Amino acid sequence: MALLLVATALAAPPEPAEGEKFLRQYFQFMRNHDMAALSAMIADDSKVEILFMDSDPPMKFTLAKSDYLQQLKALWHFSREERYDIGPIRWQADAASGVLLASLRETEDRLILEGRLKQINDLELRLTRTANGLRITGIRTTTRLQDSAK
Amino acid sequence: MLGAQGPVFGRMKELALKSGSWGATLQVRVYVDERVAAEDFKAGQCDAVLLTGMRARQFNAFSGSIDSIGGLPDYPSLKRLLETLTRPEAAALLTQGNYEVGGILPLGAAYIFIRDRRINSVAKMAGRKIAVLDYDKAQLRMAERIGAQAVASDVTNFAGKFNNGMVDVVAAPGVAYMPLELYKGVGTKGVVLKLPVAQLTFQLLLHKDKFPAGFARQSRQFLLADFDSYLSVIKAAEEDILFFFPPPDGDAGKYEDMMREARISLTREGIYDRRMMSLMKRVRCRQHPANAECSDSREVTP
């Protein structure tokens, strides 16, 4: 019996410098409300896991990419005077999976529905080199909301 | 969707234009209160009427049960069901006494709108106030099942009650979100549960003896032909909904089980039509054969 061995070379995780440039661009597209550009940066089969800390116990939701983008679009529609602040990014590369994990705190502030809403997201974004280039292949966020009536 | 400039009214006008070639000419009259429209239809002041599926149930229990709780999970299932109903063998089911169904249009899935996202389970709805349409016994029974306080409402006031805090929970389609300003009631503390609790419809009812043979069949096909264009309006409206989240991870199955048990109970009580429940189960299981319900015989009419 002949055995055919196929060796598949797994892509190395992206370099942090490349990841940093990519994510700074991602958040700039978020500020610009550029849905097409944001969508192109996220892999189609990505999941967004959101842990809302407001309730007791905290609630976890998992959104498909389309649901996540729909929420962004709706948020932009109702928001004014938006601000997105990005904290320092910490990097962790996993050679076995080819993933570069970015961890950061992102703070959003906006006027929405008669009040000011602050959203603090402790984010983990998985960056992977795909056939189409660098992509976000998963997002996890622990989110706290603080709102105040106008 | 709903106004005089919307696609539904537009399609009714097109139907009126087309109707002459089928042997009966229609004139369209607009009502602001569908209860009055239904009463005028019953009294013979109109030969046909377009009503929501829940209101249409009094004229045809079979088609009026399409809008049942958890009956169809998505739009492809609804389209498949409506296509099935245009087949010749379904015609008899769409006639009840002198009333005949002349067409069915999608109005969109009903979703649960909640003022406080801490009401994050069926158990936590107990004791909360929920607006129910006073002519739909199914909604009243559902409120009773989950231990919520039913607040009798109608389509003209349920949104106001939700937005001003008189009720904590309402069910509504996405097309109602912007026109009725439901985002005010949800605010930044609420949530809209992205889990269809019913597929709402508009249904055209005819006094059968006022129309030539074959008119209703042609009308049904005519109205179904535009399904995809209505759906694009519905989906565009759903794109606007803020804080639109699926149930928390692991909870979707519990909601589906709760809706299924409610549906079975309401069918047993005679509120939903057994034949439609059986047909919808076949549609659900054709679309999603791996679902647990597809391996049991409940909701199946032999």
ipTM value: 0.87
Q: Do A67 and B194 touch (CB under 8 A)?
A: yes
H, E, C per residue of chain A: CCCCCCCCCCCCCCCHHHHHHHHHHHHHHHHCCCHHHHHHHECCCCEEEEEECCCCCCEEEEEEHHHHHHHHHHHHHHEEEEEEEECCCEEEEECCCCEEEEEEEEEEEEEECCEEEEEEEEEEEEEEEECCEEEEEEEEEEEEEEEEEC
The reply to whether A112 touches chain B by the CB within 8 Å rule is: yes
All structural domains of chain A, each given as residue ranges with its CATH number in brackets, are 16-149 (3.10.450.50)
Q: What is the pLDDT of residue B4?
A: 67
Q: Do B188 and A55 touch (CB under 8 A)?
A: no
pTM of the predicted model, to two decimals? 0.92
Tokens representing B244? 């639109």
Length of chain B: 302
- Name which of A50, A56, A74 is nearest B241 (Cβ-Cβ): A74
Contacts of A71 in chain B (CB under 8 A): 242-245
Nearest CA in chain A to B187: A113
- Name which of B118, B188, B240 is nearest A77 (Cβ-Cβ): B240
- Name which of A61, A74, A113 is nearest B249 (Cβ-Cβ): A61
The reply to whether A54 touches chain B by the CB within 8 Å rule is: yes
For chain A, what is the mean pLDDT? Answer: 90
Kindly report the nearest CA distance between residue A75 and chain B, in angstroms: 6
- Name which of B183, B188, B194 is nearest A117 (Cβ-Cβ): B188
Q: Which of A8, A50, A13 is nearest to B247 (CA)?
A: A50
- CA B237, CA A61: separation in Å to the nearest integer? 22
The reply to whether A53 touches chain B by the CB within 8 Å rule is: no
Q: Do A67 and B188 touch (CB under 8 A)?
A: no
Would you call the peptide bond into A57 cis, given omega within 30 degrees of 0 as the criterion? yes
How far the first Cα of chain A sits from its last, in Å, is 77
Contacts with B42 (C-beta within 8 Å, 6 or more apart), sequence order:
none
Q: What is the pLDDT of residue B178?
A: 95
- CA B111, CA B173: separation in Å to the nearest integer? 6
Rounded to whole angstroms, what are the CA distances from B279 to B64, B102, B202, B259? 13, 19, 19, 17
The reply to whether B288 touches chain A by the CB within 8 Å rule is: no
The reply to whether B227 touches chain A by the CB within 8 Å rule is: no
The partner residues of B237 in beta bridges, in order of sequence, read none
Q: Is the pLDDT of residue A9 over 80?
A: no
E strand or H helix at B260, and its extent? helix B252-268
Answer yes or no: are the C-beta atoms of B93 and B275 closer than 8 Å: yes
Contacts of B120 in chain A (CB under 8 A): 55, 59
Q: What is the pLDDT of residue B91?
A: 94
Q: How far is CA A72 from the centre of its chain?
A: 11
Give tens-digit pLDDT for B136-184: 888 998 898 889 999 999 888 999 999 999 999 999 999 999 999 999 9
Contacts of B240 in chain A (CB under 8 A): 74, 77
Residue A150 binned pLDDT confidence (cut-offs 50, 70, 90): very low
A53, A71, A76, A150: which to substitute to probe chain B, counting the most B Cβ within 10 Å? Answer: A71
Give tens-digit pLDDT for A71-114: 999 999 999 999 999 999 999 999 999 999 999 999 999 999 98
Residues of chain B below pLDDT 50? none
